[in-house]
Amino acid sequence: MTQPPEQPQGYPPPPPGGQYPPPAPGGQYPPPPPGGQYPPPPPPLPYTDQYGQPYPPQQAPGTNWWAVVSLIFGVIGGVLISVVAGIVGLNKAKKGQGGRGMAIAGLILSALWIVGLIAVFALVAANKDKIADSEFADLFDPNSVNAADIGLGDCLSEIPSDASLVASVKTVSCTEPHKGEVYFVIDVPGGSFPGQSAIIDYQDRCAPALQEFSPDAMEDPEVGMFVLYPTEDSWKRGDRAVTCIATTDVPRTGSLQQ
């Protein structure tokens, strides 16, 4: 007699006839929730790589310090540093860092500094003769000194053409070729300008002083005298010296003093 096959343990027996229960009436899914609204969908997941790991959040670009340096040195006139930092800053900006505007501003300021310096040099070159006779000559020529500051024993490389318009002179060592030698200086006293006639009286002392300084120079027809004296305008700037200078047309070396 044949035995029916044993059923695996843990599973319910199939329904009679081997059929499963019929689907729900009408074959429809469960009715929608009241009001016809479904719950909102869940928030989207972050982007993931090929292994399913989420990508890290995107970081803000770092500060472009090259652009900052270019702007700072462009303001204060550090042209070379500003230009180099500006070029590097622009390259950094192309790679995503900020500061493009600051780098461009630094380069523009550097260009303005260069144009300004060129204009100043051109102006100085065009007016070098006027500057040489002005009180600012010592700023451009280390051998130029204020005419009121030369003293006894100083030698001049050139003799000014007009004593009343001299603001500065060029001095050299007396062992080098020169055309003038200071041999006598008189300080004019007083708080206010004494007048031109009083200044002339002081100038008249130069001839006797040259006789005492060098009798041979006084007798030499090739030796002349040039006098620097204060004017009313230079007096206001503190000029108080009447300066007697022995001159020669041909440059000479050494002192005239005997």
Contact 36, 43 (CB under 8 A): no
Question: 186-225, pLDDT tens digit by residue?
Answer: 999 888 998 989 999 999 999 999 999 999 999 999 999 9
**Cβ atoms within 10 A of the Cβ of 149, count?**
15
pLDDT at 137: 52
Sequence spans of domains, the chain: 63-131, 142-250
pLDDT at 81: 93
Residue 236: C-alpha distances to residues 29, 68, 138, 176, 249 (Å): 111, 48, 20, 34, 33
pLDDT at 47: 55
pLDDT at 224: 92
pTM given for the model: 0.49
**pLDDT average, residue stretch 235-258:** 89
Higher pLDDT, 47 or 120: 120
Higher pLDDT, 47 or 257: 257
pLDDT of residue 85 exceeding 70 = yes
Mean confidence (pLDDT) of the chain: 79
pLDDT at 146: 78
